Amino acid sequence: MQGISYMIDSTNKALSDEIISLVEQILDSKAKDPTTDTKELESKIDSLVYTLYNLTNDEITTIDSKT
């Protein structure tokens, strides 16, 4: 079975930049206070990743049920 390559290319640059920004926000928040609740930012990242990989609602449901 051959794997599928999932690369972030220039067509997805805006999405990848937004993900990077959110990750940086989480890291900054956690550096200041490790107990900071970052679930909202993490949820935004999840949604962007789902969009980045064009996941279906069924795939998203499967992933979300495992976390």
Give the pLDDT score at 22: 97
Share of the chain above pLDDT 70, in %: 84
Q: What average pLDDT does the segment 21-47 reach?
A: 97
Contact between 53 and 9 (Cβ < 8 Å): no
CA angle 5, 50, 9 (to 5 degrees): 45
Give the pLDDT score at 1: 39
Write down the pTM of the prediction: 0.78
For the stretch 1-31, pLDDT in tens is 355 555 666 668 889 899 999 999 999 999 9
Residues in the chain: 67
Q: What average pLDDT does the segment 33-55 reach?
A: 94
- Is 32 buried (19+), middle (13-18) or exposed (0-12) by CB count in 10 A? exposed
